[in-house]
Amino acid sequence: MKILETPQAFREWREEQAKLVGFVASRRVGFVPTMGALHEGHASLLKRARAQSDVVVLSIFVNPAQFNDPNDFQKYPKTWEQDLEIARREGVDAIFAPRAPDMYPDGYKYKVTENEVSTVLCGASRPGHFDGVLSVVMKLFQIVQPTKAYFGEKDYQQLSLIRGMVDAFFLPLEIVPVETMREADGLAMSSRNRRLTPEQRAQAPRIYQIIVKASSSDEARRQLEAEGFKVDYVLDRENRRFVAVFMGEVRLIDNVELQ
Ligand code: AMP
């Protein structure tokens, strides 16, 4: 498993891979972008990529541009050794793990902006967040040049925006959605779950249980608030129910398809 730390080094490796078989088109490159602190949700994306690709690339980059809260960025979990273990176990060929200055040589003067979907749900409470996401994903796509890229439905709004960007800019790759992996009690797996206290962790599965069962989004909000959650939003859109809540300073999101 190769570990590459700069866009330049990655490109050189990518070219070598292409040479091995003569031309790029014959190698299917499956790409899973992440911010590390890997869990079984990430592993399910890697498994899907492994099954559909000749070469699997994982990126690990905690992208400063997508954090609107500096405290959240500072406290984002880092579990490098464990990430390497999961990557090896899932048959990853290369990890791209750049540093921020190498990804933003322009100092983030250039960015990708979307003006509609990015202003609602998480976009409403996290200004600039989706500009940061779209910009870094565009950069990663240019460097990695994948055939297919895998994104979790856990971050459904992000998935929709990335699909929209790929269409808008005629990017030559396919976006593959992967269903949300949950703990046995229903809690959506998330790197941020590591930051919950044992009491918060015990209460967190109620988020999923309530949004699945409540008769309306207003009812779900009422129940969540009655159980002490600080609700950012609960909204029904396009046959899905979306939720974001704070548990202490940790913000958790989830979404489910409505029956
Ligand atoms: P992150 O490291 O949180 O930026 O996530 C990297 C990728 O993993 C994104 O496409 C996420 O949607 C996906 N992901 C995160 N959690 C889960 C989960 N519980 N199930 C499926 N995919 C997930």
| pLDDT top residue among 185 and 18 | 185
Secondary structure of 223-258 as H, E, C letters: HHHHCCCEEEEEEEECCEEEEEEEECCEEEEEEEEC
Measured by CA distance, the residue closest to atom 7 of ligand 1 is 34
Q: Determine the residue of 129, 154, 176 to mutate for testing ligand 1's pocket, defined as the one with the most ligand atoms within 8 A of the Cβ atom.
A: 154
The residue contributing the CA closest to ligand 1 atom 18 is: 41
Paired tokens of 252: 């958790």
For residue range 162-206, list pLDDT tens digits in order: 999 999 999 999 999 999 999 999 999 999 999 999 999 999 999
Report the alpha-carbon distance of residue 15 to residue 24 in Å, rounded.
8
- Identify which of 120, 210, 209 has the alpha carbon closest to the alpha carbon of residue 156: 120
Question: Of the residues 90, 130, 148, 155, which should be mutated to test ligand 1's pocket, given the most ligand atoms within 8 Å of the CB?
Answer: 155
Band (pLDDT 50/70/90 cuts) for residue 45 is: very high
pLDDT, residue 193, reads 97
The number of the ligand 1 atom at minimal distance from the alpha carbon of 154 is 12
Query: Quick one: pLDDT at residue 259?
Result: 86
Residue 239 has pLDDT above 60, yes or no: yes
Of ligand 1's atoms, which has the minimum distance to the CA of residue 182? 19
Helix or strand run (H / E) with residue 101: helix 100-103
**Residue 25: its pLDDT value, please?**
52
Q: Report which of residues 17 and 98 the model is more confident about.
A: 98
pLDDT at 29 over 90: yes
Q: Kind of pairing, strands 240-247 and 230-237?
A: antiparallel
Residues having CB closer than 6 A to ligand 1 are 34-35, 41-42, 44-45, 151-152, 154-155, 178, 180-181, 188-191
Domains for the chain: give ranges and CATH numbers: 2-178 (3.40.50.620), 191-254 (3.30.1300.10)
Q: pLDDT digit string (tens) for 78-97? A: 999 999 999 999 999 999 99
- Among 25-34, 47-56, 161-170, the range scoring the smallest mean pLDDT is 25-34
Q: Which residue has the higher pLDDT, 25 or 202?
A: 202
Structure tokens at 100: 């921020």
| Catalytic residue status for 39 | no
Listed residue (32, 53, 31) closest to 42, CA to CA? 32
DSSP state of 54: S
pLDDT of residue 22: 56
Which one is catalytic: 42, 47, 154, 241? Answer: 42
Q: Among 19-23, 29-33, 110-114, which is the least confidently predicted range?
A: 19-23
pLDDT for position 26: 64
Q: How confident is residue 234, by pLDDT bands cut at 50, 70 and 90?
A: very high
